[in-house]
């Protein structure tokens, strides 16, 4: 809340650096009394924020009392003496020699800058591109002077790491280079003074580094934990507060703060969805206004005057935070009426956003936005999908998940097709599967679950058992879905990295594709085919990673295993309705301990 100009005295503004106050009405004379609620030291891109319980908020209370006894000039002296005796902040100057030595040549850097601006900046508006371009040109014209902003090189190397995913270099060589860049940036950030890490430039470098790690599926740092640290640094700098309340923040820096705050929160939210954990902030934890809806630099394919995608993301952030927090809380207490209200809000957000996406000439940016934006839809409805088998009240969640899963997989495969039809480089698809791994794999699993549920319902029908209304699907639709899952799992396997987590995800997707094919037929061989699929896939994964187990306990025998020739009738019966849960249980028992 910003009070009228005459509420806060000049001395209070001088000390607090903020117009923000708490107001209450005196019960005696009914006058409105205002009490400053925060202190913001610093200006421009370097500020420190302290709230009501910090000691600096108590100093003005002393001066308020002494003002009743002393002359005003004596009170003024109390403020000025404190500020003049405060030790100056340590100011870093110059570039780090190690980071400087890692900067790629000018032609490669130019290419990376162009890719980043065109493909990524519209989603995460981290930098003011005209200002960064000016600093970039100055860097190349006076590189030997080495007197630029110290955080510039960390930002530049992170941008190079993000953008090189679109290059046609050898993947192994490229990833080694990216790891070198990001590890150097991470260590450099870690060595900086804690106060320096709260400047806008340092926060920008930190966020760019985390984004680069996600683009390459490279665990330079734990994304959800690191995003929480980033959020706390941003709050310590006061980014969560509306900058218009701060007296020493220019309009330019106010806009930078708004952009950066919402970009940091967007990253934290996406990391929370991916890990199934609650976001670091609630809606009531910040009052920073929305960033501008206009772009720094007009991009090809964008309609003049259309709001930026990042603006729409910021506008819907509170809604998506509520979804993430509700579904990932310890207790799922969502009333279904609230689920439907949240779903209506998400539909409105997606409908508005799709209308302003770039033209069809671009394929990566729209696909990235659509897939990540639909993350909240699946998260909201997936907890209720299993209930639909026995309760018709949840049918909408089931159909909503199926509809969203199909959309996500079609968007992902469209990017792959455009890669083949264009340059033949799979870089965009590889990048998409890294950033949107959870959405793509979850969509495969949801479609698999749907086809299996259809098979269960068909068996119930043949047994004259009741089935849920409105869930029938003809054989052509089932085969089409099975083919979609098969194409996706095959494409993902072709670009998958060799680490254990990636290979495990691919194994699950491959198994889902085989199960989809069996469930789509839904004939007399369906159950036996499923048994073979599960057994062969789990055994294949065991043989591929025999040394990855974290304990020496014997591996539980699978029913019908070659080491246990007597098949278990209970296993085949369980496949009727609950075989997918059984597979998950087997997977957890046999592959436990993997992160």
pLDDT, tens digit, 9 for 90 and up, residues 313-359: 999 999 999 999 999 999 888 899 999 999 999 999 999 888 877 66
Average pLDDT over residues 354-383: 85
Residue 34 gets which letter from DSSP? E
Q: Tell me: do 445 and 394 sit in the same domain.
A: yes
Lowest mean pLDDT among 84-88, 364-368, 390-394, 530-534: 84-88
Domain boundary among 282, 315, 348: 315
Tens digit of each residue's pLDDT (9 = 90 or more) over 155-208: 999 999 999 888 766 778 888 999 999 999 999 999 988 888 889 999 999 999
Instruction: Decide if pLDDT at 576 tops 80.
Output: no
Position 455 confidence tier, pLDDT thresholds 50, 70, 90: confident
Last residue of a domain, one of 315, 347, 376: 315
Same domain, 470 and 567: yes
Q: Which of 83-97, 214-228, 285-299, 475-489 has the highest mean predicted lDDT (pLDDT)? A: 475-489
Contact status, residue 39 vs residue 54, Cβ threshold 8 Å:
yes
b/e per residue 427-446 (b: at least 16 CB within 10 A): bbbbbbbbbbbbbbbbbbbb
Q: Is the pLDDT of residue 573 over 50?
A: no
Same domain? For 144 and 213 the reply is: yes
Share of the chain above pLDDT 70, in %: 71
* 108/186 same-domain check: yes
In this structure, are 457 and 535 located in the same domain? yes
The count of C-alpha atoms lying within 13 angstroms of the C-alpha of 238, restricted to the half-sphere facing its C-beta, is 29
Q: What is the pLDDT of residue 193?
A: 85
Above 70 in pLDDT, residue 365? yes
The pLDDT of residue 505: 86
Number of domains in the chain: 3
**What is the model's pLDDT at position 55?**
65
pLDDT score of 63: 56
State pLDDT tens for residues 223-241. Answer: 888 999 999 999 999 999 9
Is residue 390 predicted with pLDDT exceeding 50? yes
Domain annotation covers residue 5: no
The three-class DSSP label of residue 23 is strand
Q: Is residue 82 predicted with pLDDT exceeding 80? A: no
Domain match, 34 and 178 both: no
Q: What is the mean pLDDT of residues 442-466?
A: 81
Mean pLDDT taken over the chain = 78
**Residue 324 maps to a domain:** no
Q: Is 591 left (phi over 0), alpha (psi -120 to 50) or beta?
A: alpha
Kindly report the three-state secondary structure assignment for every residue of 168-187. CCCHHHHHHHHHHHHHHHHH
Using the predicted structure, report yes or no on whether residue 299 has a pLDDT greater than 80. Answer: no
Kindly tell me if the per-residue pLDDT of 147 is higher than 80.
Answer: no
Q: Are residues 51 and 115 in the same domain?
A: no
More confident residue, 327 or 460: 327
Range of 170's domain?
97-295+305-315
Q: Confirm if 456 and 524 have CB atoms less than 8 A apart.
A: no
Residue 179 in domain: yes
300 in a structural domain: no
In a domain, 102, yes or no: yes
Does any domain span residue 452?
A: yes
Confidence of residue 412 (pLDDT cuts 50, 70, 90): very high
User: Which of the two residues, 445 and 34, has the higher pLDDT score?
Assistant: 445
- Nearest 5°: CA angle at 315, between 236 and 237? 10
Tell whether 81 and 104 lie within a shared domain: no
Q: Which residue has the higher pLDDT, 399 or 51?
A: 399
Quick: pLDDT tens for 119-133.
888 888 899 999 999
pLDDT above 70: residue 254 = yes
- Is the pLDDT assigned to residue 87 strictly greater than 70? no
Most confident of 61-75, 292-306, 378-392: 378-392
Please tell me whether residues 258 and 367 are part of one structural domain.
Answer: no
pLDDT the model gives residue 145 = 63
For position 358, what pLDDT does the model report? 64
Q: Are 487 and 411 in contact (CB under 8 A)?
A: no
Q: Are the C-beta atoms of 203 and 230 separated by less than 8 Å?
A: yes
pLDDT band at 80 (very low <50, low <70, confident <90, very high): low
Asked, for residue 325, whether it belongs to a domain, the answer is: no
Q: What is the DSSP string of 63-115?
A: HHHHTTTS-HHHHHHHHHHHHHHSPPPP---S--HHHHHHPPPHHHHHHHHHH
pLDDT of residue 569: 41
**Percentage of the chain exceeding pLDDT 90:** 39
């Amino acid at each position: 809340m910003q009070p009228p100009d005459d509420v806060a005295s000049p001395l209070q503004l001088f000390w607090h650096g903020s117009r923000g106050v708490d107001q209450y009405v005196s019960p005696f004379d009914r006058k409105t009394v205002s009490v400053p609620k925060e202190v913001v030291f610093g200006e421009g891109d370097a500020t420190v924020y302290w709230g009501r319980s910090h000691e600096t908020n108590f100093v003005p209370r002393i001066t308020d009392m002494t003002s009743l006894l002393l002359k005003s000039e004596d009170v003024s002296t109390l403020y000025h003496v404190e500020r003049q005796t405060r030790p100056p902040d340590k100011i870093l100057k110059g570039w780090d020699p190690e980071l400087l030595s890692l900067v790629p040549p000018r032609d490669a850097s130019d290419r990376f800058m162009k890719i980043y601006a065109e493909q990524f900046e519209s989603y995460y508006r981290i930098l003011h591109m005209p200002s960064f371009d000016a600093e970039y040109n100055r860097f190349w014209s006076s590189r030997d002077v080495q007197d630029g902003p110290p955080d510039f090189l960390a930002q530049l190397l992170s941008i190079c790491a993000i953008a090189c995913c679109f290059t046609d270099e050898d993947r192994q060589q490229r990833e080694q280079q990216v790891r070198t860049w990001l590890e150097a940036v991470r260590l450099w950030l870690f060595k900086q003074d804690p106060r320096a890490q709260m400047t806008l430039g340092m926060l920008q470098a930190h966020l760019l580094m985390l984004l680069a790690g996600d683009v390459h599926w490279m665990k330079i740092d734990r994304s959800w934990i690191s995003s929480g640290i980033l959020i706390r640094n941003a709050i310590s700098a006061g980014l969560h507060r509306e900058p218009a309340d701060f007296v020493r923040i220019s309009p330019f820096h106010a806009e930078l703060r708004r952009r950066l705050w919402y970009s940091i929160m967007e990253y934290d939210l996406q990391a929370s969805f991916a890990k199934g954990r609650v976001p670091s902030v609630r809606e009531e934890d910040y009052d920073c206004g929305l960033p501008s809806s206009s772009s720094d630099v007009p991009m090809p394919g964008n309609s003049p005057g259309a709001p930026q995608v990042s603006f729409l993301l910021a506008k819907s952030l509170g809604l998506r935070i509520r979804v993430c927090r509700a579904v990932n809380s310890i207790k799922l207490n969502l009333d279904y009426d609230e689920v439907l209200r949240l779903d209506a809000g998400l539909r409105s957000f997606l409908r508005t956003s799709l209308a302003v996406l770039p033209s069809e000439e671009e394929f990566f940016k729209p696909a990235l936005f659509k897939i990540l934006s639909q993350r909240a839809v699946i998260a909201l409805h997936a907890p209720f999908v299993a209930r639909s088998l026995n309760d018709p009240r949840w049918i909408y969640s089931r159909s909503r998940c199926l509809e969203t899963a199909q959309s996500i997989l079609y968007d992902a495969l469209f990017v792959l097709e455009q890669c083949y039809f264009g340059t033949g480089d799979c870089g965009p698809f590889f990048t998409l599967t890294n950033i949107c791994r959870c959405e793509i794999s979850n969509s495969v699993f949801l479609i698999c679950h749907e086809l299996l549920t259809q098979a269960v319902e068909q068996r119930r029908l043949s047994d004259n058992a009741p089935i849920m209304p409105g869930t029938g699907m003809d054989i052509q639709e089932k085969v089409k879905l099975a083919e979609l899952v098969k194409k996706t799992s095959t494409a993902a396997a072709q670009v998958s990295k060799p680490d254990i987590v990636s290979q495990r995800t691919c194994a699950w997707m491959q198994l889902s594709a085989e199960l989809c094919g069996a469930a789509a037929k839904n004939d007399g061989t369906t159950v036996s085919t499923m048994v073979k699929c599960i057994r062969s896939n789990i055994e294949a994964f065991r043989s591929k990673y025999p040394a990855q187990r974290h304990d020496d306990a014997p591996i539980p025998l699978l029913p019908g295993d070659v080491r246990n020739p007597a098949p278990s009738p209970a296993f085949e019966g369980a496949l009727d309705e609950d075989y997918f849960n059984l597979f998950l249980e087997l997977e957890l028992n046999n592959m436990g301990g993997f992160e």
